A = this chain, B = another copy of it.
Amino acid sequence: MKKTRDIKSIEQSLVSFYRNQKRMPTYTEMMDLFEVRSKSVVSYWIDKLIEKGILEKDAQGFLKLSGISFGIPLVGNVAAGLPVSAEENVHDVVSMDAYLVDKPESSFLLRVSGDSMIGAGIMDGDLVVVERNRQPKNGDIVLAEVDGQWTMKYFRRKGADVVLVAANPAYPEIHPREELKIGGVITASVRKYLM
C-alpha cells in the first residue's frame, strides 16, 4: 500500500482541522495529522506548502490558510466541463459569510413567511439578510412596519412621498402617513433545498 502522504492530502487534513477547530494545529498536533514522528518532518512539509502558496505566515509568524484552500470554489463555466477538484475553470473561491454579509455587526437573519415578495424571487421559508442602519434607496427591498406588523416591501419614492409596494399584485400599495418604521434593508436572500 502506498503512502498517502503527499501535498494534497496534507492540505486536506489541515483544512479539515481548521474547519473543525477554528484554528490551525500546532506542530505537535500535525505529527498526528500527517502521521509522522518528528516535528522536523512537519516543518519540512509546511515549507513545501508555503512554497506552493497554500499556506502563509502572518506578521507574527502564525500559520494561515491562504484563501485558495478555504471556502468553496466558484466555477466560471460548466460548459467547459465539470470541476473534478481544484481545476482550472475555477474563477474564484469565496466564503459565503464574507460574500453575503458586508457588515456582520449590524446585520441579522430573518426567516420569510408569506408570499408578498414572491415576484422578487423571495419565497416562504427563505432566509434573508437584513442590514440595519442603512439608508434605503429607491427600489430596495426593506423590512418595514405596517399597521403594527413587520413585512417586506419594495421601497419606492414618488416625488416627496414614499410608497411601499409588494412584489405580488394581490397585495395593495401602502402609503405611509406619518411615521414609517424601517427595520433595515434586505441585502441578500438564501434558500436551502435539501437537508
CA distance A123 to B118 in the complex (A): 12
Q: Select which of B26, B191, B194 is within 8 A of A140 by beta carbon.
A: B194
**Residues of B contacting A60 with CB < 8 Å?**
26, 29
Judge whether B187 and A82 touch: CB under 8 Å: no
Question: Is A62 an interface residue when CB atoms closer than 8 A count as contact?
Answer: yes
CA distance A104 to B96 in the complex (A): 11
| Chain A 3-18 per-residue mask, 1 if CB under 8 angstroms from chain B, else 0 | 0000000001000000
Chain B residue, CB-CB nearest to A73: B108
Question: Is A95 an interface residue when CB atoms closer than 8 A count as contact?
Answer: yes
CA distance A105 to B86 in the complex (A): 10
| Chain A 162-195 per-residue mask, 1 if CB under 8 angstroms from chain B, else 0 | 0000000000000000000001111111111110
Q: Which of chain A's residues 19-58 have a Cβ closer than 8 Å to chain B? A: 19, 21-24, 26, 29, 58
Question: Is A157 an interface residue when CB atoms closer than 8 A count as contact?
Answer: no
Q: Select which of B22, B73, B129 is within 8 A of A65 by beta carbon.
A: B22
Q: Select which of B58, B79, B90 is within 8 A of A149 by beta carbon.
A: B79
Judge whether B72 and A101 touch: CB under 8 Å: yes
Most central of A94, A100, A101 by chain B CB within 10 Å: A100
**Residues of B contacting A161 with CB < 8 Å?**
none
**Residues of B contacting A110 with CB < 8 Å?**
74-75, 78
Q: Which of chain A's residues 125-159 have a Cβ closer than 8 Å to chain B? A: 126-127, 129, 132, 140-141, 143, 149-150
**Residues of B contacting A21 with CB < 8 Å?**
58, 64
Q: Which 10 pairs between the two chains have the least Cβ-Cβ distance?
A: A96-B96, A78-B150, A74-B109, A190-B190, A96-B97, A121-B121, A73-B108, A121-B123, A187-B194, A188-B192
Cross-chain pairs A/B with CB under 8 angstroms, 12 sampled: A22-B65, A72-B107, A73-B108, A74-B110, A79-B150, A94-B109, A95-B97, A121-B123, A140-B194, A141-B193, A185-B194, A189-B191
